[in-house]
Amino acid sequence: MAHGQRTQMRGAELDLLRQIRSRVSGGAGVALGIGDDCALLRPRAGQEIAVTTDLSIDGRHFRVGWYSPEAVGHRTLARGLSDLAAMGARPLAAFVSLGLPKDLVKSARTGKSWVSRFYDGLLALAEAHKTPVAGGDMAESPVALADIVLVGAVPRGRALLRSGARPGDGIYVTGALGGSAAGLAKLAELGGAARRVPARWAAMLQPHLYPQPRLAQGEWLRRRGIAAAAIDLSDGLSTDLAHICEESGVAAEVDAAAIPLGLGATLDQALHGGEDYELLFTARAGKRVPARVAGVAITRIGRVVRRQRNRPQVALIGDVATQPLEERGWQHFI
């Protein structure tokens, strides 16, 4: 109870919310889901719990006017799942807190409400990665926002960390980079609204609207003991590689020509674009890293070197010159 306000919900809206609740409960590892004060999760013996939270706000991390509700739901969950992938963790449960303006909750006269379609997108991805939605919160808000919490499990002491890189390691990425930024640029060029984008551009928007978290690849790299350090490419290669260097106390060299470019992406978008949700990892020189893991290409893009005074933390080696790779990706508020 706050400030004497009481939410009066009409039958149709209550029905919608019951519908959502009935769609999201249950799953292995969830002993108790929505409907009590807490959800109860049962990790297996010897496992550590990985927890990540990501807040997305309309106008900053997504745009209600630009994306379909399904894409916003997908992207919200993908952000959280990608953090688990970076640790080599397996998802146990997701929790979704939504703040929504009234018009996004009401059922549209001509079909499903925004929030119902948001859950369509989110739950399709959750199902693909066997991730039960075990709880969350929903409140009225002047701006649309979603906070996603992922809880995962990883064998004790075995999580992939940002701090594991050593000089001599190779640097690798999954998939291709810059596709999300290229898709976003194309979307902006076409005037924003994804639903009005001509069919011939649809494939180019895919990496931005429906990024694929690399859970299978992260778990595989951890189980086989191949990755020494890992992070997911949410902020952009330049910024995320700097995080690995910071946490590991090392420096890095990236070969510009080696970077796998996403559909329609420029080198600049691949270096700084962010939101590709691919994995960036290092592996000791002696490790044999396969060309593909679970159907996704793995590319060697550089090497870890010793940190030295007067040398950039991350250097970009081009055809003619080597230059410092500045952090021009997403800067977190905290």
Binding residue positions for Mg(2+): 37, 52-54, 83, 137, 232, 235
Closer to a copy of itself by Cβ: residue 255 or 326: 326
Q: How far is the CB of 251 from a copy of itself (least distance, A)?
A: 19
Q: How far is the CB of 27 from a copy of itself (least distance, A)?
A: 13
Closer to a copy of itself by Cβ: residue 227 or 253: 227
Where does residue 266 rank: exposed (0-12), middle (13-18), buried (19+ CB within 10 A)? middle
The Cα 230–Cα 209 span in angstroms is 24
Tokens of 255: 């070969």
Q: How far is the CB of 199 from a copy of itself (least distance, A)?
A: 24
Closer to a copy of itself by Cβ: residue 57 or 128: 57
Convert 12-49 to b/e letters by CB count within 10 Å (16 or more is b).
Answer: ebeebeeebeeebbebebbeebbeeeebebeeeeebee
Q: How far is the CB of 54 from a copy of itself (least distance, A)?
A: 6
Q: Which residues are annotated as a binding site?
A: 37, 52-54, 61, 83, 119, 136-137, 162, 232, 234-235, 275, 330
How distant is the alpha carbon of residue 237 from its chain centre? 14
Closer to a copy of itself by Cβ: residue 159 or 250: 159
Closer to a copy of itself by Cβ: residue 42 or 223: 42
The residue to which tokens 């055809």 are assigned: 319
Q: Which residues are annotated as a binding site for substrate?
A: 61, 275, 330
The residue to which tokens 């050593």 are assigned: 166
Q: How far is the CB of 322 from a copy of itself (least distance, A)?
A: 25
Q: What is the CA radius of gyration of the chain?
A: 21
